[in-house]
Structure 1
Amino acid sequence: MVPHLVTALNGPLHDLEKKILEATPAIERWFRLEWQEHTPPFYCSVDLRNAGFKLAPVDTNLFPGGFNNLATEMLPLSVQAAMAAIEKYCPDAKNLLLIPETNTRHPFYLQNIARLMQIFRQTGLNVRLGSLSADITEPTPIDLPDGGQLILEPLERSENGRRLVLKNFDPCTIVLNNDLSAGIPAILEELNEQTLLPPLHAGWSMRRKSNHFSSYDEVVKKFAKLVDIDPWMLNPFFTKVNGINFDDGTGEDALVAAVDTILAKIRKKYKEYGIKEKPFVIVKADAGTYGMGIMTVHHSDEVRELNRKQRNKMSVNKDGIAVTDVIVQEGVYTFEQIKDSVAEPVVYMIDRYVVGGFYRVNEERGIDENLNAPGMQFVPLAFAQQHAVPDMKAKPGTAAPNRFYMYGVVARLALLAASLELEKTDPDPEIY
């Protein structure tokens, strides 16, 4: 399944695609060796931006919530990947507990949970849903848009206090699809006899985007040396700014200086490659998701000129958590379109395997804006069922399998960066 897609592949990206295709055997061997040293996150999604002259990840989510947007053709691969992932932690697993977000009434999110349950059940597991919501005190049915139904159940601790259970259900493995933005609930702490995937420190109460992109810097430098490319082709510049208060202007000078610094670095690269586009940056909360706490900035004066509505929007994140730390990230244009709407690819992985993806499409947003916003729609991709089999005979920029292979390579670089990030930030590395 390949949607009708308009893509600007020009100049440097042609050379990048050519070099990556030529180095495919070396790249796949490099990934295999890296996964011998590092454990991939249980699952992951990566938002990519294709500017024609640059292909880079701009966000990496360790609690992906859009499995319902994947093409059904990719379901068998998802099942195989999930089986491989679970066998690492509990080879004789029989029961799996899935913990969703507490706000489970959104129909699309409910479909995501239903798809995850379908994937896990097809691996041969008994799957039930446990809720962190205090409102769930007994098994509670929730209707799905397609006529199906989910049953949410209250979580309990076992008699010895070391395991998380449901009534008459003792799971070997617990999978979180809750990003813990509001903090770590006590009931999830000190589980000594079960595997929690992803680990607690992967949640937004502890995780920081600046840590992730620092790890991504390391990964891309090694990869770029392997393929003989400029790391910038795959990597957005970024810096972190702490101590921000958008309401009273605290930290504004530091933020303005950071914006100026990143814009200057982008201009230098644009000049080097003869790129005529106007540089911009994205200012976003260092922790959090759901497309909140994000703004596009073309000039640092825009930071000082924020109106009250804009400041309010930037000051809080999901679950009303105050934003005090931000990253200033190089803005990457997206020159991909579907039916005259701006689009960006999102790649999904389970364990170390690409299991599909989709285009996030938003006709209400521009090529330099965050597309994860009201008005977005999703066009599923089956990666032509050949994401790992590029067409070596095709000219650069002409074959969908090659483009999807490129997406998969860059997404796996972000996945590897997430692995390094989790290792470095693990509060108890001996048991990681």
Structure 2
Amino acid sequence: MVPHLITALTGPINELEQRILDSTPAIERWFRLEWMEHTPPFYSSVDVRNAGFKLAPVDTNLFPGGWNNLTPAMLPLAVQAAMAAIEKICPEARNLLVVPENHTRNSFYLSNLVQLKRIFHQAGLNVRFGSLSAEIKAPTTLNLPTGEAISIEPLIRTDRRLGLKNFDPCTILLNNDLSAGIPGMLEDLHEQFLLPPLHAGWSVRRKSHHFKAYEEVSKRFGKLLGIDPWLINPMFAQCGEVNIAEGTGMECLTTHVDALLSKVKRKYKEYGINEKPFVVVKADNGTYGMGIMTVRDVKDLDALNRKTKNKMSVIKDGQALSEVIIQEGVLTNERVNDAVAEPVVYMMDRYVVGGFYRVHAERGVDENLNAPGASFVPLAFADSGRLPQPGEKPGSSSPNRFYMYGVIARLAMLAASYELEATDPDAEVYD
């Protein structure tokens, strides 16, 4: 299913789609050379927004949940990618330990774990789940509405290794984004591969680092295609030491919001875009759609109500919001059954394996869709996303649209690779 794009401003994106399709061999070679120099994140998902005049990633998740939203048709691709990823890390791997989030009562999240187990089981691994939660003191079976069940066990830490009772894995996969900090249990492991690395967790990672890396990637990619990188890159700024609830650090926020709105206005004027610019203020660390607000005018910051201030004070796991990224807002002009939608692309190793549309009937084109009430419609990536159809008119075919989304998502994944290398505490630094 291909949602329709409800905008007359499809010119630049149709041109971009045509440029991407015409340059497919060069693009694939460029990615191939990049992956010879850089290691892709083990798995990732990227939220993409298509405004019709601009196509850009707005978030990159290195601990993706939501695998349950991929269709059965997408699984063979995911299994192949999982095999490739594991072979590179631990070819003789027999056991895979998955460390899930602590909120294990959420049935959608549990379905995500079941799907991950299915993928890695078919890739040839024994998969078990070990929880960091103090509440899990014995193997606990949780039943899903689908009739499936999942067993979560307490983690056992020996001197240098992490495992479960009678289960010693060579690879540990985190499906927990470490928002609350890095537990000592995960540190100083001996001859075990922890994926993603600890510095990918939100207690360390910052979105501003990611989008700085993405800016660099988009400039190089723009040069390859001969396009303005702005067409694929959301501009941004960053403020540390902000407490929106108490009103401290607001000068930094006001200054950057004003400056960014002015920059976006200039770009809109350059391209003849008759839309109202907006920016999105969100936690520089953290996920789950928490700590996010849309700002259309700098005066809006003076008139924040108590509810919005409270919403902007805390992120996941009760962590206080103290650093924010101010990101150029990218409209979404895609609709599924008249509801606002945005594509989310899923990757494992360096491969696009599938995705879905996040759909929200109660949200506007300039609002965050990762919120209660969202629903998910699978993308047709599995049979078409990697195979563009040359000769098709831009904007008319699902394979071409999905291929384009896959390219943008892989650019964000490459930026994540740059970001993780730059923030690796164990990397050797050369002058």
Q: TM-score, normalised by structure 2?
A: 0.98
SS in 2 for 1:152: strand
Contact 2:82 2:119 in 1 (8 A): yes
Amino acid at match of 1:216: Y
Q: CA deviation at 1:303?
A: 1.0
Deviations 1:109-161 (A, max 9, x none): 00000000000000111110000000111111111121111111110113xx1
Distance in 2, Cα, partners of 1:405 & 1:3: 13
1:71-86 equivalent positions in 2, closer than 5 A: 71-86=71-86
Q: Which amino acid aligns with 1:355?
A: V
AA in 2 matched with 1:152:
I
- In the TM superposition, residue 5 of structure 1 has moved relative to its aligned partner by 3.4
Q: Is the 8 A contact 2:354 2:382 kept in 1?
A: no
Q: What is the Cα deviation at residue 192 of structure 1?
A: 2.0
Using the TM superposition, give the Cα deviation of residue 296 of structure 1 relative to its aligned residue in structure 2, in angstroms.
0.3
Identity of aligned residues (%): 66
> What is the letter of the counterpart of residue 69 of structure 1?
N
1:21 aligns with 2:21: yes
Mapped contact 2:208–2:325 kept (Cα < 8 A): yes
Q: Is this contact kept in 2: 1:70–1:382, CA < 8 A?
A: no
Q: Which of 349, 371, 374 matches 2:372?
A: 374
Give the residue type in structure 2 aligned to 1:209.
K
CA displacement at 1:371 relative to structure 2: 0.2
CA contact (8 A) 2:74 2:382 kept: no
Residue type of the alignment partner of 2:208: S
Structure 2 residue matching 1:347: 3-state secondary structure: strand
User: What is the distance in 2 between the residues matched to 1:373 and 1:154?
Assistant: 31
Q: Equivalent residues in 2 for 1:134-145 (5 A)? A: 134-145=134-145
**What is the aligned partner in structure 2 of residue 335 from structure 1?**
333
Q: Provide the C-alpha distance between the structure 2 equivalents of 1:88 and 1:242, rounded to a whole number of angstroms.
A: 38
Contact 1:384 1:401 in 2 (8 A): no
Specify the alignment match of 1:308 in structure 2: 306
On the 8 A contact 2:353/2:382 being kept in 1, the answer is: no
Give the C-alpha shift of residue 342 in structure 1: 0.2
Residue in 1 aligned with 2:190? 192
Quote the residue 2:154 is aligned against: 154
Secondary structure of 1:315's partner?
A: coil
Structure 2 unpaired stretches of 5+: none
Name the count of aligned residue pairs: 428
Task: Name the amino acid aligned to 2:420.
Answer: L
Which structure 2 residues correspond to residues 64-103 of structure 1 after superposition, within 5 A? 64-103=64-103
Shift of 1:382: 2.6
Which residue identity does 2:378 align to in structure 1? P
Say what the alpha-carbon RMSD is for the aligned residues: 1.1
Bigger drift between 385-394 and 254-263 goes to 385-394
How far apart, in 2, do the equivalents of 1:38 and 1:7 lie?
Answer: 38
Q: 1: CA distance between counterparts of 2:83 and 2:295?
A: 43
Determine the C-alpha separation between the residues in 2 that align with 1:106 and 1:290.
13
Of 380-389 and 264-273, deviating more is 380-389
What SS class does the counterpart of residue 153 from structure 2 fall into? strand
> Residue 429 of structure 1: SS of its match in structure 2?
coil
Residue 241 of structure 1 pairs with residue 239 of structure 2: yes
Query: Is contact 1:252–1:304 with CA below 8 Å preserved after alignment?
Result: no
User: CA-to-partner distance for each residue in 1:244-302, whole Å, 9 max, x for gaps?
Assistant: 01122111111011000100100000000000000000000000000000000000111
Contact 1:95 / 1:173 at 8 angstroms: preserved in 2? yes
Conserved in 2, the CA contact under 8 Å of 1:19 and 1:227? yes
Q: For residues 28-427 of structure 1, what are the structure 2 equivalents within 5 Å?
A: 28-158=28-158, 161-383=159-381, 385-427=383-425
The AA in structure 2 aligned to 1:413 is L
Could you say what secondary structure the match of 2:312 adopts?
A: helix
Preserved contact between residue 294 and residue 367 of structure 2 (Cα < 8 Å): yes
2:151 partner letter: I
- Amino acid corresponding to residue 376 of structure 1 in structure 2: A
Aligned 8 A contact 1:6 1:338 in 2: no
Q: Deviations over 1:157-201 (max 9, x none)?
A: 13xx11101000000100000000000111001112100000000
Please give the per-residue CA displacement for 1:357-388, whole angstroms capped at 9, x wherever unaligned.
Answer: 00000001000000001110000113161212
1:38-82 Cα offsets, whole Å, 9 max, x none, are: 000000000000000000000000000010001110100100000
CA contact (8 A) 1:384 1:400 kept: no
In structure 1, list runs of 5 or more residues that go unmatched: none
- C-alpha contact 2:45 2:345 (8 A) present in aligned 1: yes
| Mapped partners of 1:362, 1:107: distance in 2 | 20
Helix, strand or coil for the counterpart of 2:76?
Answer: helix
2 CA distance for matches of 1:381 and 1:225?
30
Letter in 2 for 1:32: R
Preserved CA contact (<8 Å) 2:96 2:125: yes
Output the CA distance in 2 between the equivalents of 1:351 and 1:380: 21
- Runs ≥4 in structure 1, deviation > 2 angstroms? 3-9
- Residue 3 of structure 2 contacts residue 334 of structure 2 at CA under 8 Å; is this kept in 1? no
Distance 2:170 2:380 in 1: 32
Given that 1:184 and 1:200 are in contact with CA atoms closer than 8 Å, whether structure 2 keeps it comes out as yes
Q: Which amino acid aligns with 1:302?
A: D
Q: Which letter maps to 1:365? A: R
Q: Return the offset for 1:3.
A: 4.5
